[in-house]
Structure 1
Amino acid sequence: MYIENKSESLNGSARIGRVTFSKTGKSIYYGDRAFQSLDGQGFKSNYFDVETGEEFWISGPRRDGKDRLYSQSAMSVEIDEDVAEEYWRDIRGMAPPK
């Protein structure tokens, strides 16, 4: 999934990583963090960190790689090592960069 921190600005730190979902789908787990749905109440965000209250945009990664809402941002998107090969092959349809 694409995970971008929206708590400080419209363009926050972002990454592609593997998440798990609760049975209801209202909670998402990434690493040691738990996120709950804002149920449409967020501004440019759709989940919040249960522990810190920080707001995030979490969505499926885009095939064209333009996951940021404001694509003109020069900020990079980190890709977790454990999903990098799968991301490039299955999502982007490309060989991973060397």
Structure 2
Amino acid sequence: MYIKNRRNRSKGPAWIGKVEFSKSGGTAYFNDKVFKHFGKGHYGDIETGDSYWISGIKKNGKDRHVFGKGKIQIDKLIVNEYLQLVDFV
């Protein structure tokens, strides 16, 4: 999944990693954080209140918004899986 902190709009820190969801889908878990689902990819960190975007990855590898900047960190445990899913052509 693609996870981005929306604090600085399109320029917030971003990750590619494994996200687990509750059975109802109302809660997501990533990197020891718990997120409450607010609808259509929008989540909130229940501890800090920060707003996040969580979505599937794009096959072309361009997960950042067109105006977004910064590196996307990829969890080292899923690099091989990610590379098999993405077509950088």
TM superposition score normalised by structure 1 = 0.81
C-alpha distance in structure 1 between counterparts of 2:28 and 2:63, whole Å: 18
Identity %: 38
Deviations 1:43-92 (A, max 9, x none): xx60010110000110001000111123x434111100001110001x11
Pick the structure with more strand per residue: 2
Equivalent of 1:48 in 32, 44, 48: 44
Superposition CA RMSD, Å: 1.7
1:44-83 aligned at under 5 Å gives the runs 46-70=42-66, 72-83=67-78
In structure 2, list runs of 5 or more residues that go unmatched.
Answer: none
Equivalent of 2:83 in 79, 85, 88: 88
Q: Which runs of 4+ in 1 moved over 3 A?
A: none
In structure 1, list runs of 5 or more residues that go unmatched.
Answer: none
Which fold has the larger relative contact order, with Cα–Cα distance below 8 Å and residues 6 or more apart in sequence?
Answer: 2
Q: Which residue of 1 aligns with 2:9?
A: 9
- Count of aligned residue pairs for this structure pair: 88
